[in-house]
Amino acid sequence: MIEPFLIRAIIAGIGVAIITGAIGCFVVWRRMAYFGDSLAHSALLGVALGLVLGISTNLGTMIICSVFAILLIWLQQKKVLATDTLLGILAHAALSIGMVTLSLLERSVDLHSYLFGDILAVTNHEIYLIIFGGIFVLIFLFFNWSSFVLTTINEKLAKSEGLNTLFNQLLIMLLMTIVVAVSFRIVGLLLITSMLIIPAATARQVANSPEVMAIVSSILGIFAVMLGIYLSLHFDTPSGPSIVVASVVIFISILFFTFLRKN
């Protein structure tokens, strides 16, 4: 008989793999890996906000990450500094303020579980958040897929078609904030970007269309989660890093297979 905690871990892991696989394609296509990393770092301030105000840390993370994305877009339009410089300043400022705030809290905080995740300790409440948040993200992607892809592939063509490319960019960023907010307990704030990047980058090696790439990315993410959970249980290793290691192993395997096939 499978233990309840393992069933919860599998459900949560599959849910996160599906949504990170889909939105991760845009992270790879738009070269937003550094933004995803910065967003995840800023999420620690959201965790601190949630604990200070006594609200859900997921809600606190969503609020701070949304502010982060909107502020970045605004500063980019003002051309204050280069984008990578802005990301560095905003991300490290939010990360540092979050760390300081958490250290000032009177109650102890399991910082390790927030930074590196603990899928085996996921609760029913967190599963509901992943399911409902994931459904929202997937529905939004489904109805805006064509405009998002066109904006990503050729921004000038998208503008000529009457699309608001700036608004689309903001929407993609806000969808990423939801993904980070509902899934950081799985692999942690420091590693969540890997779930956005590695499966999508792996799928890119074998997919022949954007739609196929999104589907394959989600499937590979599920495989990585299942393999990571197994490794974590079998070798008694941290669950979050184990999932990332599994993703890397799958990436290297497919990359090697693709290289052999081309040669």
pLDDT digits (tens, 9 = 90+) for 150-163: 999 898 989 998 99
| pLDDT at residue 141 tops 70 | yes
The residue among 58, 40, 190 whose CA lies nearest residue 123 is 58
Residues in contact with 45: Cβ distance below 8 Å, sequence separation at least 6, in sequence order = 64, 94, 95, 97, 98, 101
Beta strands in the chain (DSSP E): none
- Tell me the average pLDDT across 210-228: 96
CA distance 171 to 166: 9
Q: What does the block give as tokens for 154?
A: 């050729």
Rounded to whole angstroms, how far apart are CA atoms 134 and 180? Answer: 11
- CA distances 154 to 51, 147, 157, 160, 162, Å, are 42, 10, 5, 10, 13
Cα–Cα dist 254/192, whole Å: 21
What's the average model confidence in pLDDT over 22-27?
Answer: 95
Average pLDDT of every residue of the chain: 92
Distance, in Å, from the CA atom of 168 to the CA atom of 162, rounded to the nearest integer, reads 12
Q: Which CATH superfamily is domain 4-262 in?
A: ABC transporter involved in vitamin B12 uptake, BtuC (1.10.3470.10)
Q: Give mean pLDDT, residues 173-200.
A: 92
Residue 219 per-residue DSSP state: H
% pLDDT > 90, the chain: 76
The mean pLDDT of 108-117, rounded to a whole number, is 86
Mean pLDDT of 165-176: 93
Task: Check pLDDT > 90 for residue 241.
Answer: yes
Q: What is the reported pTM?
A: 0.93
How confident is the model at residue 103, as a pLDDT?
87
What pLDDT, on the 0 to 100 scale, is given for residue 1? 67
Return the pLDDT at 245: 96
What whole-number distance in Å separates Cα of residue 63 and Cα of residue 129?
15
pLDDT at position 22? 95
